[in-house]
């Protein structure tokens, strides 16, 4: 369910704005979302900043998205393997769906997510574009 | 004085051609292109605004500066298209580039010179040792009313500069001066979607008086001549005005053209002269001298004399060039351009 809240968005600034994630201090595995425990058994994690480059693992096109995204028309969403090893789902912009492929190199950009109506806050975060 | 230790440019991918606009305005495209000295302009993506453009440019500037970003003590975003009337673009950009919380920030507005003025502010803060590094950004997604002459030129883009000590600089600011007066050539009233302008009055008593005034002042105070400069950048509301000023000062094509980015991207307002400076820094060599004069309606010009250092060579390759962004493009129909500008939904 799509929840439109400035506060929820504000709590996610670190990962949505900066692509900050976590690295297991024992085995070095990297995660975009925080984990209670790594499969290696460690519960210790260090905060890291991802470089923002990666490859598309899978992708699709959304023809009828949430109302807040209606200004964008149809848009592309992909699962991306970041260069450091973590996996993320994000919008791919500045490209045509037909030009995307599994393995396309992408890089992170800072873009508008949506606006909360005419008077509400503007929400920003990380999307990806094909590397050029 | 302080200097530039990192710089970055950003121009959105989308373009609309003068032909496309002229077809809708039922105007002669060739006469427009000849008259304005430009062929197309940049248009923001549907999810781009001044804040996203400023962030992109600032990230490239940081990549070139190679500093600990927590040492940044000030960030200023100059624009006439801040997305919020009340809520600072500068704080959002600072959060997005991750400089922590130990910094001062404010948004500035002085038409097209809102960005260049922040370079002066940061140079003052650095020289007085109030901050170690300051970020100066000029970025815009310029507005133009459909049917207005501005529609051919009002574009989107921006550039960011990290200001630090002259020892760390890739280009030292030798001198900066300003030339300012109350001149009603162009304005946008509160709550109005589009700016208004005084037609031909925007030329002689406005742009030309201030750009020429500031440039003359800089040459006098630095005791230099125009031929001492490798590159010369004047604010670019169109392709015609900077060429006319260049003729007055006897600036050569070799000095002017590398920074004359307007012909392919239009007038990026607060980003205009700063993108010209970034384009020149992309190709500058140690020892080169650069003269840049901005212009903001209302009116004022900031003029800078810079000397490029040996640090430029390494910095140039650390991020994309202005030309990389100019070359990346996708043309829009007029209807799609209106949608990108949120004129239609």
How does pLDDT run across A91-125, given as a tens digit for each residue? 999 999 999 999 999 999 999 999 998 899 999 99
Q: How many domains does chain A contain in total?
A: 1
* Residue B206 domain flag: yes
Query: B52 and A110: CB-CB below 8 Å?
Result: yes
Statement: residue A2 has pLDDT above 80: no
With contact defined as beta carbons under 8 Å apart, do B208 and B245 qualify?
yes
Residue in A112, A113, A120, A132 to test binding to B, most B beta-carbons within 10 Å: A112
- Per-residue pLDDT tens digits for B132-144: 999 999 999 999 9
**Pair B196, B331 in one domain:** no
DSSP-based three-state secondary structure for B64: helix
Q: Tell me, what's the ipTM?
A: 0.95
Q: Average pLDDT for residues B93-118, to the nearest whole number?
A: 97
**Pair B186, B212 in one domain:** yes
Binding site, annotated residues of B for CoA: 200, 240
Cα gap B246→B255, rounded to integer Å: 9
* Residue A20 domain flag: yes
Q: Which residues of B are catalytic?
A: 80, 112, 235
Strand order in the sheet with A45-49: A30-31, A20-24, A45-49
Cα gap A88→A55, rounded to integer Å: 10
Range of the structural domain that residue B89 is part of: 3-170+320-340
Cα gap A122→B174, rounded to integer Å: 40
* Residue B345 domain flag: no
A112 CA: distance to closest CA in chain B (Å): 5
Band (pLDDT 50/70/90 cuts) for residue B200 is confident
**pLDDT cut 90: percent of chain A above it:** 72
Structure tokens at A90: 């994000």
Q: Average pLDDT for residues A19-38, to the nearest whole number?
A: 92
Query: A132 and B55: CB-CB below 8 Å?
Result: no
Range of the structural domain that residue A108 is part of: 6-130
**Pair B132, B209 in one domain:** no
Statement: residue A3 has pLDDT above 80: no
With contact defined as beta carbons under 8 Å apart, do A79 and A87 qualify?
yes
* Residue A1 domain flag: no
Statement: residue A8 has pLDDT above 90: no
Q: How many domains does chain B contain in total?
A: 2
Widest Cα–Cα separation across chain B:
56
- Give B305-330 as a DSSP string: EEEE-TTHHHHHTTS--HHHHHH--E
């Amino acid at each position: 369910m799509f929840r439109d809240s400035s506060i929820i968005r504000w709590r996610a600034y670190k990962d949505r704005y900066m692509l900050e994630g976590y690295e297991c201090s024992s085995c070095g595995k990297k995660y975009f979302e925080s984990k209670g425990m790594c499969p290696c058994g460690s519960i210790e994690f260090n905060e890291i900043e991802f470089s923002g480059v990666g490859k598309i693992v899978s992708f699709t096109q959304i023809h009828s998205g949430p109302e807040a995204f209606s200004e964008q028309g149809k848009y592309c969403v992909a699962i991306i393997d970041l260069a450091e090893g973590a996996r993320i789902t994000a919008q791919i912009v500045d490209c045509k769906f037909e030009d995307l492929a599994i393995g396309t190199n992408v890089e992170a950009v800072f873009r508008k997510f949506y606006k909360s109506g005419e008077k509400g806050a503007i929400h920003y975060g990380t999307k990806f574009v094909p590397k050029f | 004085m302080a200097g530039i230790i990192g710089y970055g440019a950003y121009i959105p991918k989308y373009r609309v051609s003068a032909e496309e606009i002229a077809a809708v305005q039922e105007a002669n495209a060739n006469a427009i292109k000849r008259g304005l000295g430009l062929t197309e302009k940049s248009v923001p993506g549907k999810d781009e605004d001044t804040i996203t453009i400023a962030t992109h440019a600032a990230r490239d500037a940081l990549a070139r500066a190679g500093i600990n970003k927590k040492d940044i003590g000030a960030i200023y975003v100059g624009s006439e298209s801040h997305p919020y009337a009340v809520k600072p673009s500068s704080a959002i950009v600072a959060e997005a580039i991750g400089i922590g919380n130990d910094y001062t920030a404010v948004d500035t507005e002085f038409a097209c010179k809102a960005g260049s003025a922040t370079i002066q502010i940061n140079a003052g803060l650095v020289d007085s040792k109030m901050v170690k590094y300051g970020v100066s950004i000029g970025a815009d997604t310029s507005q133009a009313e459909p049917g207005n002459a501005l529609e051919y030129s009002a574009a989107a883009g921006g550039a960011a500069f990290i200001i630090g000590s002259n020892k760390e600089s890739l280009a030292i600011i030798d001198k900066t001066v300003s030339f300012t007066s109350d001149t009603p050539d162009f304005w946008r009233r509160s709550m109005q979607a589009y700016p208004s302008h005084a037609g031909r009055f925007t030329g002689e008593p406005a742009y030309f008086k201030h750009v020429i005034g500031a440039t003359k002042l800089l040459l006098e105070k630095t005791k230099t001549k125009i031929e001492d400069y490798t590159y010369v950048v004047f604010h670019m509301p169109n392709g015609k005005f900077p060429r006319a000023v260049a003729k007055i000062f006897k600036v050569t094509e070799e000095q002017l053209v590398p920074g004359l980015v307007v012909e392919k991207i239009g007038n990026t307002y607060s980003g205009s002269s700063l993108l010209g400076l970034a384009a020149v820094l992309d190709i500058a060599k140690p020892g080169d001298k650069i003269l840049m004069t901005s212009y903001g309606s209302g009116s004022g010009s900031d003029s800078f004399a810079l000397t490029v250092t040996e640090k430029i060579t390494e910095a140039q390759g650390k991020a994309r060039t202005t030309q990389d962004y100019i070359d990346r493009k996708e043309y829009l129909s007029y209807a799609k351009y209106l949608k990108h500008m949120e004129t239609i939904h």
